[in-house]
Every structure is written in C-alpha cells, then in structure tokens.
C-alpha cells in the first residue's frame, strides 16, 4: 500500500471523531447485549438443570398386584439402604407455589438429596433461603407450622434461582405412604430438567432469543455504516490518486476494525457492569443468580471477533459494492429496487402456521415431531418475512404517496423513500420486530387472563375455601378435633362432609352428606332447612362451575365415614393460609389442601406467566436498541444529506419542514408494516395458545398491550426527536457553504 494513500486514510479517520464514537458506542451496546443474551441462554439452562431434581417422582412404592387380581392387597416395597420415599404434595402460600418434597428414609440411608447433607429426620425441614426468610417473616400459624423444625438451608447448587421457594421435610414412612397416591421410591434424583417438554422449551427460548438477536445485529450493521456518504467521497479521492478498488476496500475494512474492536472491548466491560441489573429480572417466578448470567472469556472473544470480522467484511464489501470510481460520488449508485418476490418468506411462514392450525383440529395428524419445527420455522419465517417484505411494501406505499402528495414535505419524503426503500425501512425494522414480539406476548397473555381466579358463583365451591379429603384410616374423633380447632380460629369455619365409605374406597359412591345447616357455609343456594342434606360429590371439584343442589336425606351422619373437610374462609389471604396450615398439620388428610385459588398459580398458566416476564424484557431490549438504531440511522441519513437539506433551508424552507420530512421518512415505513406486524403477532399467539390446549381462548389484548405499544412508539418518537437538534445545527446557514 502506497504511503500517501495510507496517510490520507489515517487523516480521514482522524477527522471523523464523531463517526468513530458513534460506531464505538453502537457496537459496545450490541456486544454487551449479545453477551448478556449468551449468558442468559447459558444461565437458563444451568438454572433449569439445578432445579431438575424437583421433577423427580420416583419409582413405584408398591409391588404390582399379583396375577392382575384387582382385589389383591398391594404390597409395599420396603425402604432400602440406598432409597428414600418421596412425596410431593402441592403447597401454596398466598398466590405462590412452594416446592415441597416430603421424604422418609432409613436413618443410615446412603441416598442423597441435592443441596442438603442428609435427608431430614421426621419433623425437621430444610428450606431454600428465600423460603426460610418468608417463614420467619410470617406468623407461624400461616406457614411455619406446616413444616416442623428448621434443620438448615438448601445449598444454591440445588436451587434454580435466588427466589426459589423450596422445602424438604422429613416424615415417617407411614405418613408418606398414607398420603394419597403421591409417594415414590427414589434412589437418585433426575438431572433432566425438562423431561418430555425439552424440545418445546428449547424452541420457545430459541424463538425468543432470535427476536432479541435480530435488532442487536441490525443495530451493529446500522452503526458500522455511519457516515457512508462522507466515506464514499474520501474513497473517491483515494481512487483518484491511484488506489485500486481492492486497496480502498481494504482501507475501509481496516477503518471499520478499529472502532469496532474498541466498541467490542467496551461492550465486554459494559456487560460485566450491567449483569447485576439484568439478574434482578424475575424469570419464571425467581430472579437468577448473577453468576448464571456470566460468560467466560471464550464467549467474549467469540462475540468480539465475530462482530469485528463481520463489520470489516461488511465495510469492505459495501465499499466494493458501492462502485466508488475516481469520479466518485457525483453519480450515486441507485439502490436495487425491491420486487414482489420479497413476499415469499412471509407466505412460507403463513403456510407453516396454516398447516399447524389445520392439524390442530385433526388429532391423527398431531405430533410434536413436526409441529414444533413448523412452529419455530413459521415463527422465524414470519419474523424474517416481515423484515424482507418491509422495503417492498414501503416502496408501494411511498409511490402511492408520491402520486397523491400535496405538499413539498410529502413530495420530498415520498421521493426519498421511493428511491431508497431498503435503507429507510432498515431504520425502523427493529421497531417492527419489537411490535411483532409484543403482539405475540399480548395475544398469549390475553388467553391467560381467561383462566384467572374464579369468581364466587352461588352453588359451587367458593373460591376462597380450602378443602381436603380425609384419610379413611383417620379416627372420626381426630376429624372432629380438627373441625373444632378450625372453628376456633377467627375467620375460618369447618364443614365435615361424610360419605358411604371413606375417600378412595370402593364404597364411597357419588354422594356426600352434610348437616343441612352447614349448606350456607359452602355457598350452596338450594338446600333443606334442617336435618341431613345430600349432594353430588362433584361439588368438591374446584373446577366445577355448575351449581349443585342439596336435597334432604334420611341418612344419619355419625353412621357415615368422614370423607372431606371444607374450610370456609373470610377470603383474607392470612385466613386462607391459616386454613392451609391447619389442614397440613392435622395428619388426618389424605392429600394436600386445595382451593380454587390454587388454579391461578399452577400448571401451564404459571409457566407462561413466568415466561411473560422474559417477554417484557425482550420487548424492552428490542424496543430500546431499535430506538437507538432509528436515531443513528436518522442522524446518519441526515449527515449524508447535510448539504442538500441546508440548501433547502437556504431556499426558504423552514427548519420545521425539515423535521417533518425526517419524521415522515421514519413514520411511513413504520406505519406501513406496523399493522402487519400486529396482525401476524396475534396470529402466531393464537397458534401457540391453541396448541396449549382447548381451555385457552384468545381475547382482546389488555390495556398493558396498548401501553406497551404506545410506549414502543413513544420511545421511537423520542429517538427521532433526539435527532432534531442535529438537524438544526447540521443544516444551519452558518455551517453549510453554498458555492
């Protein structure tokens, strides 16, 4: 390389401090987010692996009946020196779920539970730090009394996150075996966190990661192209004094490398600073450990190298592609015009989702083996399709806009967009993706709202009541004692329901019997005034929404077997938890206490609600970096057109008109694709919701969606407005020279 050329190149980069600073800042933000994303992907996997043992249900605790004789008594498999009996009763406190693991083991067992030195003895418990804190903050009769005496905390290596609520309680073998059906024999805990759902989880995270990754890459590509016009001019000069196109491309690549490398290093430092903040974000109910988000030096090196190399390649390629000749920039290369072919990826995505929607109604066709690839493929195709079709739609709209333009502003903006549809669209593509993701999330969460806390419906089990079935082996006196204890507690009232046989026995039948006077405590509307009332046992099902009618019965309660105990509460959260605690402690129960309230905290509802936090984070990240991209792209387009915009002001165009031109150039491509992004977002959400199960129905999005949408657009608008100052100064009469 010629010395003169090299010196010119260096001089050029020295003069462009602002440009270099911009590239550096943009790359730093991009690299920081990439590393956090990498850390999050890595950390979530670690986190789930640490929580895998909580999924363990164990092997059967009973020998299967011999000869298939259904009436043969099942024979318990005894505890061995390396096994434990484990039960996992559902445990609720307020509206969160506590992961409770009951264990019984021989005193000298060699079986181990992750995170604690040895299985707790009966009456003792180990708790996660977050739960122990909760236990200490809460009056004992609401929580602590459920577990026994504190033996120690569970180590972090067995906790998914800092806020995980986990308790391992010791119990006797007979206590666990009597707990209804839930006991299993465990010698080693599983390490597979997702079981059969692994693929679904991974794809969900992959899709979410892509939605955030795309705007990051877009940002890096936009900032590394900052000041393209001035650079082209300089390269033309270099060509004029004898540099070959290859030399110029290499100079361009080398120029890109320095600020990108500096930005990448800055980004690595930034990610270490931001990590504690990012760890405050709750994911699936708990904040993660800071270390989970950490990435090692390999990750940092890979990200930095990938960003710097691709920026260099892109810069060199762009310079070659721009065809900078010795006569340089007087004839700008026209941007290749987008064609209708750009609709293809979007259509392909539609087809994928269409196939899924079709198959959803045909059970024989359903199989995760093709449904999941189609779901993810469809999602990715639609997301990419939105970005690919954007320039073409923008072109169509701007051409129509030009035809019907009335003002100088719309003529100038429409012409500019029509001449460079890809470049104008690129500046808002990130926002479009963000809106798409927000819409998916809003569609999904609208379905969740529909399975929230049930309303109090007359004639069905009341939402704030807690009930449990009674162990057939429990003595009626113990049941009476429990009822008395409950009735002695403020805000609670116990009703004992009786059956022809005990819970889980062949004689129990479909009917339960109560004292008629108790009907009012259960929320029954039609019941006899006195004596014994009989009603359908379906009443006890929390999900029953059909009013149950109680009728008079000649049965005499003391001759029947206690079947269930139903505790009416005054609906105060404290009362509900007191009722739960009393029922857990009683030892007459055949299973954990349940309440219609629990529904809202369990099952896939909870999972998706947990993921919603992630979706919000993703949206926030995507919108913020898209806003930066928009500001950078706008500023860069402005600087590229500094002279001609200044000339417009000289001709007497007010600065406000320039602002309106710039605003319109961002608004037209955004609004063109916005509706499409919203519509497709809801379509994808609908697909995902229907695949969850028939109980989920899409609904109108909540106010939070419109808030999020408004906020996204607001942030975009703010980004745009932030460039107005630059517009005013860079086109000012005193800085532009007109010759």
Partner 1 sequence: MNAQAQTAPILSARGLRHSFGSTEALRGIDVDIHPGEVLAVMGPSGSGKSTLLHCLAGVITPDAGSVTYQPGPAVGQSVTISSLNEAGRSRLRLTEFGFVFQFGQLLPELSALDNVTIPLLLNGTRRKDALQRSAELLDRLGLQDNGTKRPSELSGGQAQRVAVARALATAPKILFADEPTGSLDSLAAENVLTQMLQLVREAGTTLVMITHDPRTAAYADREILVRDGAVAAGYQVAP
Ligand X SMILES: Nc1ncnc2c1ncn2[C@@H]1O[C@H](COP(=O)(O)OP(=O)(O)OP(=O)(O)O)[C@@H](O)[C@H]1O
649 binds, among partner 1, ligand X, none (CB under 5 to 8 A by kind): partner 1
Interacting partner of 473 out of partner 1, ligand X, none (Cβ under 5 to 8 A depending on kind) = none
- Report if residue 406 touches ligand X, rule: CB under 6 A: no
> CB under 8 A: which stretch of 85-93, 400-408, 667-675, 714-722 binds partner 1?
400-408
Sequence-ordered list of residues with C-beta below 8 angstroms from that of 477, at least 6 positions apart, any chain = none
292, 294, 297, 300: CA torsion to nearest 10:
120
**CA separation, residue 538 to residues 207, 529, 549 (Å):** 41, 22, 11
Given CA atoms 326, 328, 331, 334 in this order, what sign does their dihedral have? Answer: positive
* 654: contact with partner 1 by CB under 8 A: yes
194 or 724, CB closer to partner 1? 724
Helices assigned H by DSSP within 533-602: 573-586
Q: Closer CB to ligand X, residue 349 or residue 646?
A: 646
Contacts of 724 (CB under 8 A, 6+ apart): 659, 662
Handedness of CA 211, 217, 219, 222 (dihedral sign): negative
Q: Which among 383, 454, 306, 358 has a CA at the least distance from the CA of 690?
A: 358
DSSP-based three-state secondary structure for 469: strand
The smaller minimum CB distance to ligand X, of residues 78 and 732, is found at: 732
Q: Please tell me whether residue 450 binds partner 1 under the rule CB under 8 A.
A: no
CA 443/CA 678 separation, integer angstroms: 10
Residues 252 and 315: their CA atoms lie apart, in Å, by 6
C-beta of 316 vs 646, nearer to partner 1: 646
Exactly one of 109, 420, 595, 730 binds partner 1 (CB under 8 A); which one?
420
DSSP state letter for 89: -
* Number of residues located near partner 1, criterion CB under 8 A: 31
Q: Which x/- pattern over 700-739 shows residues binding ligand X (rule: CB under 6 A)?
A: -------------------------------------x-x
- Provide the token pair at 706: 């419109």
647 binds, among ligand X, partner 1, none (CB under 5 to 8 A by kind): partner 1
Residue from 360, 411, 717, 726 that binds partner 1 (CB under 8 A)? 411
Measured CA angle at 228 (ends 223, 233), to 5 deg: 155
If one asks whether residue 331 binds ligand X (CB under 6 A), the answer comes out as no
Contact stretch for partner 1 (CB under 8 A) within 119-127, 582-590, 649-657, 682-690: 649-657
Shortest Å, Cβ 733 to ligand X:
10
Extended beta strands in 204-335, E state = 282-283, 286-287
Alpha-carbon 210 to chain mean position = 13
The structure tokens 């359908």 sit at: 536
Nearer to partner 1, 411 or 457 (CB): 411
Tokens in use for 460? 């069905």
CB of 195 or CB of 732, closer to ligand X: 732
Burial of 467 (0-12, 13-18, 19+ CB in 10 A): buried
- Interacting residue with partner 1 among 212, 218, 418, 627 (CB under 8 A): 418
Among 649, 664, 667, 673, binds partner 1 (CB under 8 A): 649
Which stretches does DSSP call E strand in 176-283?
184-186, 282-283
* C-alpha separations of 355 from 352, 367, 677 in Å: 5, 12, 20
CA distance 527 to 522: 11
Q: Contact with partner 1 (CB under 8 A): which of 156, 415, 553, 690?
A: 415
- Which of 94, 605, 684 has the alpha carbon at shortest distance from 376? 684
Size of the site for ligand X (CB under 6 A): 2
The least distance separating partner 1 from the CB of residue 657, rounded to whole angstroms, comes to 7
Q: Which one of ligand X, partner 1, none is in contact with 140 (Cβ closer than 5 to 8 A by kind)? A: none
Judged by beta carbon, residue 452 or residue 732, the one nearer ligand X is: 732
Residue nearest to ligand X (CB): 737
For position 734 contacting partner 1 by CB under 8 A, the verdict is: yes
Rounded distance between C-alpha atoms, residue 614 and residue 422, angstroms: 31
Find the shortest distance in angstroms from Cβ 735 to ligand X.
8
**Residue with Cβ nearer partner 1 (332 or 556):** 332
Could you give the string, one character per residue 314-333, with x where binding to partner 1 holds by CB under 8 A and - elsewhere? ----------------xxx-
Determine the 3-state secondary structure of 101 from DSSP: strand
Under rule CB under 6 A, residue 14 binds ligand X: no
Positions in the binding site for partner 1 (CB under 8 A): 330-332, 334, 405-408, 411-412, 415-416, 418-420, 643-644, 647-654, 657, 733-734, 737-739
Positions in the binding site for ligand X (CB under 6 A): 737, 739
């Amino acid at each position: 390389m010629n010395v003169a050329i090299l010196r010119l190149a260096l001089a050029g980069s020295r003069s462009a401090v602002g440009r270099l600073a911009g590239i550096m800042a943009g790359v730093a933000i991009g690299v920081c987010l990439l590393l956090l994303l990498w850390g999050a992907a890595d950390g979530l996997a670690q986190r789930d692996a640490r929580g895998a043992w909580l999924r363990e249900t164990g092997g059967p605790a009973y020998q299967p009946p011999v000869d298939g004789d259904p009436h043969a008594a099942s024979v318990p498999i005894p505890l061995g020196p390396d096994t434990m009996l484990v039960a996992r009763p559902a445990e609720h406190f307020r509206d969160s779920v506590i992961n409770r693991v009951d264990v019984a083991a021989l005193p000298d067992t060699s079986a181990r539970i992750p995170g604690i030195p040895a299985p707790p003895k009966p009456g003792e418990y180990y708790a996660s730090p977050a739960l122990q804190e909760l236990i200490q903050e809460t009056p004992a009769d609401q929580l602590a009394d459920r577990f026994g005496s504190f033996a120690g905390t569970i180590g972090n290596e067995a906790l998914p996150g800092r806020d995980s609520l986990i308790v391992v309680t010791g119990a006797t073998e007979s206590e666990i075996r009597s707990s209804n059906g839930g006991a299993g024999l465990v010698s080693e805990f599983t390490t597979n966190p997702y079981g059969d759902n692994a693929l679904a989880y991974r794809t969900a995270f992959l899709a979410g990661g892509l939605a955030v990754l795309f705007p990051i890459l877009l940002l890096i590509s936009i900032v590394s192209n900052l000041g393209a016009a001035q650079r082209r001019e300089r390269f033309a000069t270099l060509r004029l004094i004898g540099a070959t196109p290859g030399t110029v491309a290499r100079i361009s690549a080398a120029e890109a490398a320095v600020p990108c490398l500096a930005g990448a290093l800055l980004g690595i430092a930034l990610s270490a600073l931001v990590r504690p903040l990012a760890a405050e974000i709750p994911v699936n109910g708990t904040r993660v450990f800071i270390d989970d988000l950490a990435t090692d030096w390999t990750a940092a090196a890979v990200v930095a190298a990938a960003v710097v190399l691709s920026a260099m390649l892109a810069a060199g390629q762009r310079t070659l592609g721009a065809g900078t000749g010795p006569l340089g920039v007087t004839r700008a290369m026209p941007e290749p015009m987008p064609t209708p072919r750009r609709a293809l990826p979007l259509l392909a995505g539609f087809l994928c989702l269409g196939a899924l929607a079709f198959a959803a109604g045909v059970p024989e066709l359903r199989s995760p083996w093709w449904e999941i690839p189609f779901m993810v493929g469809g999602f990715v195709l639609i997301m990419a399709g939105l970005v690919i079709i954007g320039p073409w739609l923008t072109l169509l709209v701007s051409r129509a806009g030009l035809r019907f333009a009335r003002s100088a502003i719309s003529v100038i903006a429409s012409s500019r967009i029509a001449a460079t549809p890809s470049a104008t669209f690129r500046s808002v593509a990130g926002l479009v993706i963000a809106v798409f993701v927000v819409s998916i999330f809003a569609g999904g969460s609208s379905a969740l709202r529909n399975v929230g806390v049930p309303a109090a419906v007359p004639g069905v089990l009341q939402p704030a009541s807690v009930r449990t079935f009674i162990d057939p082996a429990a003595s009626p006196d113990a049941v009476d004692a429990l009822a008395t204890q409950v009735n002695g507690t403020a805000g609670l009232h116990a009703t004992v329901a009786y059956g022809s046989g005990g819970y889980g026995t062949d004689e129990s039948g479909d009917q339960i019997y109560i004292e008629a006077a108790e009907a009012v405590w259960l929320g029954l509307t039609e019941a006899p005034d006195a004596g014994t009332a009989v009603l359908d046992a379906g009443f006890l099902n929390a999900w029953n929404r059909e009013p149950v009618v109680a009728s008079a019965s000649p049965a005499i309660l003391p001759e029947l077997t206690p079947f269930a105990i139903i505790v009416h509460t005054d609906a105060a959260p404290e009362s509900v938890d007191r009722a739960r605690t009393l029922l857990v402690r009683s030892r007459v129960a055949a299973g954990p206490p349940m309440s219609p309230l629990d529904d809202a905290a369990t099952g896939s509802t909870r999972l998706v609600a947990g993921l919603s936090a992630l979706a919000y984070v993703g949206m926030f990240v995507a919108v913020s970096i898209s806003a930066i991209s928009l500001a950078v792209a706008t500023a860069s387009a402005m600087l590229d057109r500094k002279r001609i915009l200044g000339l417009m002001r000289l001709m007497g165009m007010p600065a406000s008109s320039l602002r309106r031109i710039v605003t319109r150039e961002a608004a037209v491509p955004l609004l063109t694709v916005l509706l499409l992004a919203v519509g497709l977002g809801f379509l994808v959400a609908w697909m995902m919701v229907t695949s969850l199960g028939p109980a989920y129905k899409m609904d109108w999005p909540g106010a939070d969606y419109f808030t999020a949408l408004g906020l996204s657009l607001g942030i975009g608008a703010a980004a745009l407005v932030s460039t107005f100052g630059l517009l005013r100064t860079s086109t000012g009469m005193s800085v532009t020279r007109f010759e």
